[in-house]
Amino acid sequence: MNKNRQREEQKNRFFQKDNTIAAKDRIVAWPRMGNIDLALVALVSSLGVKIVEPPPNTNEALEIGVKNSIEGICLPYKLNLANYIMALEKGANTLMMFQAPGSCRFGNYTKMAQKTLKKLGYKFDMVVFDMYQSKMKQTLQAFWHVTRCMNPYRYYKGFSMGFNKAFAIDTAERLLFYTRPRELNKGDAERCYKKWYKIIRETNSVLGCKRLKKQVIEDFKQIPIDKKKIVPKVYLLGEFFVLLDPYANKEIEKTLGDLGVEVERQIFFSDWLEHVLKPSFLYKKESHRERCVRFAEKYMKRAIGGETIETVGDTVFASKNGIDGVIHIMPFSCMPEIVSQNILSKVSREEDIPVMSLVFDEQTGKAGYQTRIEAFIDLVKRKKMKSKIKNENKKEEMLAKC
């Protein structure tokens, strides 16, 4: 009896049953976050469910989120809540949300949003994906709860298309970050990326999705670049949502690329998806998180929630692998990243790597961020040139001795 009760309690924790909606009548929505829509649209639509996509995050969405949120809550929650409201206004009746444990308030988003939305008079069903509970099993249970789909081929098609679209768009982003500061014709990389974003979005076959990644790589290779150009490399790391959402981070990747900097973002949706959903015995290489735990050990003995240990571990890793600087971004009042910010000052001194933290909230002006970024990149470029001159002098001394 106790086991059955525990199983039922766990089930109810993920699937709120205040509103029972037949699968054929479901209209599903989820919050915007980077390019997550490309994968989820492919997956959910393959299972035969209607979808409402909230528009991309804008000042209008932020205004809605701020108006209906409690004071002091972080930027991701405000935008997520706005996405829900906008989707419900368009006819959605089933809301999906990821959840994770730890000290981050992310674990309470669904409860807070649910309470607020019901106060506003909306009727809906909330489905929570706790990605750290039972991985693929719980994910399949959640999708079955939404769709009642029993066709194995539809699941294969949906997951195959979703995964391959996620890998393809993340590959396009990585190539964009590499190509943009080196391109000979300004704007070539951006145009190529936008072209493939549209193609990836519109591809609706399993075979076509499997070919996307290779096609993206081949097309980016055609862009003429200056291979001899000295380009500083900067790690971009921090809180998951702000890293992935261009509106939330004020398009910082484009800003850095236009300043002649190659960005290496340390979190991509496809990497996270593969690690979370893939069974551990099939994941043979060291995961990003495992690497971060190893490199952060000197400064952190255990994870405390959010991306804290990833932020610290990636910064230490960067210092030991020739990276020229680190930009740490986070939403205002994010508790795990406030801890990271304080630790990073020590990491920067002891590991001899420039680190800058940027805090984002509902203020939409870019001027202050632009000035700070430009000053930091000037520092990084001077450090790189000094290092280059020092290495050249060492080579000359060795040649003279020979």
What pairing do the DSSP bridges indicate for beta strands 50-51 and 125-130?
Answer: unpaired
363 shares its domain with 236: yes
Assess contact for 253 and 234: CB atoms under 8 A: no
Q: 153 lies in a domain?
A: no
Residue 141 lies in domain: 2-148
Q: Are 314 and 328 in contact (CB under 8 A)?
A: no
Asked if residue 155 belongs to a domain, the reply is: no
Residue 323 shares a structural domain with residue 252: yes
Both tokens assigned to 4: 């059955």
135 & 205 share domain:
no
pLDDT of residue 17: 45
Q: Is residue 48 part of a domain?
A: yes
Q: For 87-129, write each residue's pLDDT tens digit.
A: 999 999 989 887 665 556 666 778 888 899 999 999 998 888 7
Token pair for 314: 């990636």
Q: Which residues contact 55 (CB under 8 A, 6 or more apart)?
A: 32, 61, 86
Q: Which is nearest to 255 in space by CA: 358, 386, 362, 388?
A: 358
8 Å CB contact between 277 and 135: yes
CA 1 to chain centre: 41
Residue 366 is predicted with a pLDDT of 80
The whole-number average pLDDT for the span 38-48 is 89
Nearest to 234 by CA among 399, 366, 358: 358
- Do 106 and 200 reside in the same domain of the chain? no
Torsion of CA 287, 291, 296, 300, to 10 degrees: 40
pLDDT tens-digit series, residues 286-318: 778 888 999 999 998 887 778 889 999 999 999
Query: CA 117, CA 96: separation in Å to the nearest integer?
Result: 14
Q: Are both 258 and 394 inside the same structural domain?
A: yes
pLDDT-derived band of residue 344, with 50, 70 and 90 as boundaries?
A: very high
Residue 253 maps to which CATH number? 3.40.50.11900
| Residue 271 to residues 101, 168, 245, 268, Cα–Cα distance (Å) | 19, 12, 16, 5
Q: Across the strands, what pairs with 130?
A: 99
Instruction: Give pLDDT tens digits for 251-294.
Output: 999 999 999 999 999 888 777 776 666 656 566 677 788 889 99
Contact 107, 74 (CB under 8 A): no
First to last CA, the chain: 82
**Is the same domain home to 322 and 174?**
no
pLDDT digits (tens, 9 = 90+) for 195-249: 999 999 999 999 999 999 999 999 999 999 998 898 999 999 999 889 999 999 9
Please tell me whether residues 119 and 195 are part of one structural domain: no
Q: What is d(CA 24, CA 12) in angstroms, rounded to the nearest whole number?
A: 22
The pair phi, psi for residue 29, each rounded to 5°, is: -145, 160
- The packing angle between helices 135-147 and 2-14, to 10°, is 70
Q: What is the pLDDT of residue 401?
A: 66
Per-residue pLDDT band for 24 (boundaries 50, 70, 90) equals confident
Q: How many CB atoms lie within 10 A of CB 291?
A: 15
Asked whether residue 226 falls in the same domain as residue 254, the answer is: no
Q: Kindly report the number of other CB atoms within 10 A of residue 52's CB atom.
A: 18
Q: Helix 308-319 and helix 335-351: axis angle, to 10°?
A: 20
DSSP SS3 for 184: coil
Rounded Cα distance between 8 and 15, Å, is: 10
Q: Specify the CATH number for the domain of residue 36.
A: 3.40.50
Number of domains in the chain: 3
Please state the rounded mean pLDDT for residues 35-40. 88
Whether residue 347 is found in the same domain as residue 301: yes
Would you state the pLDDT for residue 200?
95
